[in-house]
Amino acid sequence: MYAAKEISVFDIIGPNMIGPSSSHTAGALRIARLARNMVKKSIEQVKFILYGSFARTYQGHGTDRALIAGMLGFDTEDYRIKESFVYARAAGLHYIFEIDSKRQDVYPNTVDILITDVDGEETTVTGISIGGGRAVIKKINGVDIDLTGDYYTLVIRHKDLPGVVAGVTNILSIFNINIAFMKLYRENKGTIAYSIIETDQPINADVIDKIEELNSVFNAFLIDKL
Amino acid sequence: MNFTSGQVLIKICDEKNIAISEAMILRETEYLDSNRYEAWGKMEHSWSIMKDSAKRALKGDIVSMGGLIGGEAAKINRRRLAGYTTVCGTIMSKAIAYAMGVLEVNGSMGLIVAAPTAGSSGVLPGAFLAIQEEMGYPDEVIIRALFNAGAVGYLIAYNATVAGAEGGCQAEVGSASAMAASAVTELMGGTPRQCLYAASGAIANLLGLICDPIGGLVEAPCQQRNAMGVSNALISAEIALSSIQNIVPFDETVAVMYNVGRSMPHELRETALGGLASAPSACSRCRNADK
């Protein structure tokens, strides 16, 4: 479960959203928006592979338009969602949709997002929509993670070596940032790891520069609270 | 200050001599650290979206993404305006037209407030816009009542579920109906106890309601279920305001709703494998809608 977050009145009277489905439209948009935040450079092409209920009913729910809208950074309230394909073309974003209705071992509303940036670098993200417009990123570049966008989030990709986490938390304490949750995920022992740090306060972009100066850190991203 | 049951909510309201709406505002500001002014502003924004979405469909030019609904709110409105005697009276006729209209807006990728879900988004706007127009309440009164509705929805979400996939339509439209029933009761001068009687009555009336969206789309029978949800809310408020009590209290009714939902076969919980979704005419309409 992802019940860490307290229910606010605006989770009940809300989200304010473009219909028709909180899980298939608003939730899909949020997955794509989270994924977009994990790529620093401008995005050239994106491929979506839809599974489960996403694969069966995406057209009637506007799931495809919502995913593109999320990739363009639109909010769930944005009237442009319905015409997002037009905005994607204007922005030079190439997109492909694939349907995989055979695979059974996935959460009902799952999408794989394969992003290629202007330099040809690829990022692969798997997200699920868990209802009520909430989204969870379950995988990044093959590493299992859990990321919801319920908090201000810092994602750090680094070598799986001793001392990296200490270096990161040291920087956060210099910037007076209070960590709400911190999780560490890795591909294999001693290879690539992801540290995901969630905070209650917004994180200053200067923090990213400092963290990226650390040895063993490949890159770091800020993901805004959705 | 926090509460996780109707019983504790009533106790807080009694001790502080406040309405449920105020208790929910206090929970938001004191427990969740929100700013009262900002929270009010956000709710004001939600109410303006609700009103726009309810009125938008009256033009009658909406066609849903799946093509199963569109134009129904305008038809009901036009019939009333043409001078035909309404069966339900003006307030109920308006409430069902608005509730159904919001579902048209939702189904055509328009802007709505999920309250508590997109599939049940017509109930609160339907109830409040009809009441505002017929009784002349200013926006401030409605915005305050929405916090009451939020309290009831929060208690249901915390202790049970508001998801059709988990609890069927009783968890979606049933919850929306309970939220509206309680909020309307407060707005009309009812006590916190009467509010929860209205909410539990509304849930009790819809126990067992399945979620069977034709073609898996949030269109039909969802649209008319919203009309039913708003009617049930007004009925339940009228009963509670008349000081009629329920045998089973709110917290127990919520638990019952949850258990009924869990015992529903999965075909009847949003999978579009059972109920109306599996009727022959529904299946053939959807094949057309797919094209």
| Residue A119 bridge partners (DSSP) | none
- Quick check: B46 and A16 CB within 8 A? yes
How far CA A164 is from CA of A29, A203, A210, B107, in Å, comes to 33, 19, 13, 49
Closest chain A residue to B111 measured between Cα atoms?
A: A18
Work out how many CB contacts closer than 8 A connect A with B.
130
CA angle A167, A172, A178 (to 5 degrees): 135
Asked if A163 is an interface residue toward chain B (Cβ–Cβ < 8 A), one would say no
Say how many C-beta atoms besides its own lie within 10 A of residue B178's C-beta.
Answer: 37
Q: φ and ψ at A102, to 5 degrees?
A: -85, -40
- Residue A6 pLDDT: 87
What is the per-residue pLDDT for B288?
52
Is B103 within 8 Å of B70 (Cβ atoms)? no
Interface test with A, best of B65, B177, B222, B285 (most A CBs within 10 A): B65
pLDDT at A3 > cutoff 50: no
Smallest CA–CA distance, residue A29 to chain B, in Å, is: 13
Q: How far is CA B153 from CA B160, B180, B199, in A?
A: 10, 9, 10
Query: CA of A3 to nearest chain B CA: how many angstroms apart?
Result: 10
State the pLDDT confidence band at A47, using cuts at 50, 70 and 90.
Answer: very high
Q: For residue B158, how far is the Cα from the chain centroid?
A: 17
Among A6, A19, A82, select the one facing B112 at the smallest CB separation: A19
Q: Say what the pLDDT of residue A4 is.
A: 52
Q: Does B46 sit within 8 Å of A14, measured CB to CB? A: yes
Give tens-digit pLDDT for A105-128: 888 899 999 999 999 999 999 999
- B117–A22 CB contact, under 8 Å: yes
Q: What's the pLDDT score for residue B287? A: 58
A99 in contact with chain B, both atoms CB, cutoff 8 A: no
State both tokens at A14: 């809300």
Q: Which residue of A has its CA nearest to B149?
A: A13
Confidence of residue A102 (pLDDT cuts 50, 70, 90): confident
Q: How far apart are CA B248 and CA B113, in angstroms?
A: 31
| pTM metric for this prediction | 0.91
Is A25 part of the contact surface with chain B (CB cutoff 8 Å)? Answer: yes
DSSP A81: G
Element housing A39 (H / E): none
Helix/strand number for chain A, H first, E second: 7, 11
Measured distance CA(A104)–CA(B254) in Å, rounded? 33
Q: Indicate the DSSP class of residue A83.
A: G
Kindly state whether A104 is in contact with chain B, defined as any CB-CB distance less than 8 angstroms: no
Average pLDDT of every residue of chain A: 91
B146 contacts in chain A (CB < 8 Å): 13
Contacts of A65 in chain B (CB under 8 A): 109
Interface test with B, best of A5, A8, A13 (most B CBs within 10 A): A13
**Contact list, A15 vs chain B (CB under 8 Å):** 113-114
Distance of residue B115 Cα from the nearest chain A Cα, in angstroms: 5
pLDDT at A103: 86
Q: B109–A22: do the CB atoms touch at under 8 Å? A: no
pLDDT at B291: 39
Q: Which residue of chain B has the CA closest to A52?
A: B271
β-sheet bridge partners, residue A131? A134
What is chain B's pLDDT, residue by residue, as a tens digit (291 residues)?
999 999 999 999 999 999 999 999 999 999 998 999 999 999 999 999 999 999 999 999 999 999 999 999 999 999 999 999 999 999 999 999 999 999 999 999 999 999 999 999 999 999 999 999 999 999 999 999 999 999 999 999 999 999 898 899 999 999 999 999 999 999 999 999 999 999 999 999 999 999 999 999 999 999 999 999 999 999 999 999 999 999 999 999 999 999 999 999 989 998 889 999 999 999 877 655 443
Residue range A124-182, pLDDT digits in tens: 999 999 888 889 999 999 999 999 988 899 999 999 988 888 999 999 999 998 899 99
Q: What is the full DSSP assignment across chain B?
A: ----SHHHHHHHHHHHT--HHHHHHHIIIIIS---HHHHHHHHHHHHHHHHHHHHHGGG-----TTSS--SHHHHHHHHHHTTPPPSS-HHHHHHHHHHHHHHHHHHTT-EEE-SS-GGGTTHHHHHHHHHHHHH---HHHHHHHHHHHHHHHHHHHHHS---HHHH-HHHHHHHHHHHHHHHHHHHTT--HHHHHHHHHHHHHHHTT--B--GGG-SSTTHHHHHHHHHHHHHHHHHHHHTTPPPSS-HHHHHHHHHHHHHTS-GGGBTSSSSGGGGSHHHHHHHHHHH-
* Topology match between the domains A9-147 and A152-223: no
| Burial category of B252 from C-beta neighbours within 10 Å (exposed 0-12, middle 13-18, buried 19 and up) | middle
Query: What is the Cα–Cα distance from A114 to A125, expressed in whole angstroms?
Result: 7
Task: For an interface test with B, give the residue of A5, A10, A11, A12 to mutate (most B CBs within 10 A).
Answer: A12
Pick the CATH number of A152-223 from 3.30.70.260, 3.40.50.11610, 3.40.50.720, 3.40.50.300: 3.30.70.260
Tokens linked to A7: 């229910």
Report the topology of domain A9-147.
60s Ribosomal Protein L30; Chain: A; (3.30.1330)
For residue A214, the tally of other CB atoms under 10 A from its CB is: 16
User: Tell me, what amino acid is at B106?
Assistant: N
Domain boundaries, chain A: 9-147, 152-223
Distance separating alpha carbons of residues A165 and B233, to the nearest angstrom: 54
pLDDT at B290: 47
Phi first, then psi, for residue B137 (nearest 5°) are -70, 140
Cβ of B116 within 8 Å of Cβ of A133? The answer is no
B82 to chain A, closest Cα gap in Å:
31
CA distance B168 to B200: 17
Nearest CA to CA, how far is A19 from chain B (Å)? 4
